[in-house]
């Protein structure tokens, strides 16, 4: 067991589960881990913490075959397979992809599948009437077999085909993938693509190669990466490459900008945050590691092999948290012409903009402009048709208003001063006047009388 840490206090209020529908998956996974590895969940805590440290450290330190060892596979199944499934569900929900997928038969290609986390997330949402066919490709066969057993328990009618090999070998990759698919998943693949690789193919070129050959007309592709600076910029680089080569419409999160406004930024990055209800064993792991994982944070890109459609110019994606400055609410949004900051008086801010999560779509009516704050110019969206200012909370009156604030009571000692004793204040003796004939105030001996 790793050292127990106090559970952090959440700094938000959970509003709803944004598209997360895990169903029996957490219970099935817990049961499988106990049966497969013969140890209680608490025994895998150290391995969960080790994987977490690797995921947040330099990616070059992470071995491409880290799921080969049984302790790592058990820890990944117990924790990251569940969070990964929930993340894929949320990303597909944000992209509106569930309505675009076929209802009778769904063909899924899961690249870098690991223990089938992404496919399990899809399987948990599909209705029983949909026939599910999954082709999984990864370098570790045992990891895919573990996920396959959970899939068989949850969806006995699902068809699973496993191919173990090196994704960087193009001949193997395309031979294993075979035909076309309605949904292609790249879950936590691109950020590890450069680890141990000597080939010049970029992540964007890899995605283009796979989608141009194996994504069926009308099919949907989803890329999901961690909400880190590196993970986000890998997604952005792939997005810029795909916009130039394929030109297919992006379902989410982009709203039609020709170039990502963060493509040339090394400071800022784009990610999404959504609320969800954590399974009980995930809460226990989080408390032990001192994590605040009550929200899902990820970077993603969803696109469809179809003809581009005209978008809604009034819909913007919220890509920044709320900022308040001098009575103004400021939030970054991304629309058809790129990133803009919305500045609105706090008392007139639309409720949808105030309460939006990072990654939400909001409908805003305004005119583009430019702001200059501290010598920094940036595009701004000036909202129109604002509601009247909301009344401020009334100030207290009467005795309640006259009551001093804590720490400012009458005759309160200065901070850091010693406590004042109770009772009447003793009076200090007054020194005699300098012209007095008595002894000097300084305590010097009296002057000698004149002769």
Q: What pLDDT is attached to residue 307?
A: 87
pLDDT higher than 80, residue 398: no
- Grade residue 31 by pLDDT with cuts at 50, 70 and 90: very high
**Residue-averaged pLDDT of the chain:** 80
Q: Which residue ranges make up each domain of the chain?
A: 25-304, 315-383
- Residue 25: predicted pLDDT: 96
Taking the C-alpha atoms of residue 205 and residue 430, their distance in angstroms, rounded to an integer, is 91
Residue 37 has pLDDT above 90, yes or no: no
Inter-CA distances, 22 with 81, 120, 122, 431, Å = 11, 9, 9, 85
- State the Cα–Cα distance between residues 162 and 177, nearest whole angstrom: 10
Q: State the pLDDT at residue 394.
A: 64
What is the DSSP secondary-structure string of 133-155?
EEEEEES-HHHHHHHHHHHHHH-
Distance CA 73, CA 91 (A): 24
pLDDT at position 425 over 60: no
Range ranked top by mean pLDDT from 220-224, 361-365, 369-373: 220-224
Coil/strand/helix, residue 76: helix
First-last CA distance in the chain = 96
- The residue-averaged pLDDT of 292-296 equals 81
The pLDDT score that the predictor gives to residue 384 is 85
Whole-number Å distance between alpha carbons of 242 and 254: 13
Phi-psi map region of 19: left, alpha, beta (phi>0 left; psi -120 to 50 alpha): left
How many beta carbons lie within 10 A of that of residue 81, not counting itself? 28
The CATH architecture assigned to 25-304 reads 3-Layer(aba) Sandwich (3.40)
Query: Mind listing the pLDDT tens digit for each residue in 180-192?
Result: 999 999 999 998 7
Which residues are CB-neighbours of 184 under 8 A, at least 6 positions away?
108, 109, 111, 210, 211, 214, 215, 219, 220, 221, 222
Q: What is the pLDDT of residue 440?
A: 41
The residue with greater pLDDT, 291 or 107, is 107
Residue 404 pLDDT: 44
Distance of alpha carbon 55 from alpha carbon 399, whole angstroms: 57
- Which of 303-312, 333-342, 399-408 holds the top average pLDDT? 333-342
Helix (H) or strand (E) holding 87: helix 81-94
Cα R_g (the chain), whole angstroms: 31
Tens of pLDDT along 192-218?
776 555 555 889 999 999 999 999 999
Q: What is the pLDDT of residue 406?
A: 41
pLDDT surpassing 70 at residue 264: yes
Is the bond leading into 253 cis (omega within 30 degrees of zero)? yes
- The model's confidence at residue 1, banded by pLDDT at 50, 70 and 90, is very low
Residues 6+ apart with CB under 8 A from 124: 21, 22, 23, 24, 25, 85, 89, 154
Give me 106's structure tokens. Answer: 């769904």
pLDDT recorded at residue 199: 56
**b/e map 313-323, b = 16+ CB within 10 Å:** eeebbbbbeee
**Crossing angle (nearest 10°) for helices 280-289 and 25-37:** 70
What are residue 43's phi and psi, to 5 degrees?
-70, -15
Confidence of residue 250 (pLDDT cuts 50, 70, 90): very high
DSSP secondary structure letter of residue 394: P
Closest listed residue to residue 253, CA positions, set 351, 342, 337, 335: 335
Query: What does the pLDDT average to over 329-337?
Result: 91
pLDDT of residue 399: 53
Tell me the percentage of the chain whose pLDDT exceeds 70.
74
Q: Can you say how many angstroms the Cα of residue 118 is from the centroid of all Cα atoms in its chain?
A: 17
Q: Average pLDDT in the 61-73 region? A: 65
Average pLDDT over residues 413-438: 48
Is it the case that residue 390 has pLDDT exceeding 90?
no
- Cα separation, 77 vs 233, in Å, equals 27
Confidence of residue 389 (pLDDT cuts 50, 70, 90): confident
């Amino acid at each position: 067991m790793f050292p127990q840490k106090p559970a952090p206090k959440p700094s938000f209020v959970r509003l709803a589960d944004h598209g997360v529908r895990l169903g029996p998956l957490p219970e099935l996974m817990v049961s499988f881990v106990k049966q497969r590895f013969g140890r209680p969940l608490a025994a895998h805590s150290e391995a969960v913490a080790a994987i977490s440290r690797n995921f947040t450290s330099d990616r070059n330190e992470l071995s491409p075959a880290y799921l080969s060892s049984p302790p790592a596979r058990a820890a990944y199944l117990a924790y990251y397979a569940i969070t990964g499934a929930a993340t894929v569900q949320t990303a597909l929900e944000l992209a509106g992809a569930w309505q675009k997928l076929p209802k009778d038969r769904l063909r899924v290609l899961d690249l870098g599948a690991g223990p089938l986390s992404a496919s399990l997330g899809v399987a948990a949402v599909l209705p029983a009437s949909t026939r599910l066919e999954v082709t999984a490709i990864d370098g570790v066969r045992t990891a895919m077999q573990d996920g396959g057993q959970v899939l068989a328990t949850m969806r006995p009618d699902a068809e699973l085909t496993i191919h173990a090999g090196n994704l960087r070998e193009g001949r193997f990759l395309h031979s294993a993938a075979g035909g076309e698919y309605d949904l292609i998943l790249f879950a936590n693949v691109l950020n590890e693509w450069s680890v141990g690789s000597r080939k010049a193919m970029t992540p964007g070129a890899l995605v283009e190669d796979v989608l141009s050959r194996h994504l069926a007309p009308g099919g949907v592709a989803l890329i999901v990466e961690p909400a880190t600076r590196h993970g986000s910029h890998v997604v952005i680089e792939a997005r810029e490459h795909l916009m130039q080569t394929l030109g297919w419409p992006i379902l989410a999160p982009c709203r039609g900008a020709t170039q990502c406004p963060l493509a040339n930024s090394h400071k800022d990055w784009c990610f999404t945050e959504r609320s969800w209800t954590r399974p009980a064993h995930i809460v226990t792991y989080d408390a032990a590691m001192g994590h605040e994982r009550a929200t899902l944070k990820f970077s993603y890109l969803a696109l469809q092999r179809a003809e581009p459609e005209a978008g809604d110019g009034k819909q913007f994606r919220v890509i920044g948290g709320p900022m308040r400055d001098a009575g103004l609410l400021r939030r970054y949004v991304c629309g058809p012409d790129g990133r803009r900051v919305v500045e609105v008086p706090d008392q007139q801010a639309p409720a949808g903009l105030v309460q939006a999560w990072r990654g939400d779509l909001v409908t805003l009516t305004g005119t583009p402009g430019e702001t200059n704050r501290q010598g920094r110019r940036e595009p701004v969206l000036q909202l129109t048709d604002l509601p009247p200012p909301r009344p401020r909370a009334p100030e207290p009156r009467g005795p309640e208003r006259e009551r001093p604030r804590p720490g400012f009571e009458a005759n309160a000692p200065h901070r850091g001063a010693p406590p004042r004793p109770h009772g009447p204040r003793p009076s200090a003796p007054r020194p005699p006047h300098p012209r007095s004939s008595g002894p000097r105030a300084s305590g010097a001996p009296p002057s000698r009388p004149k002769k």
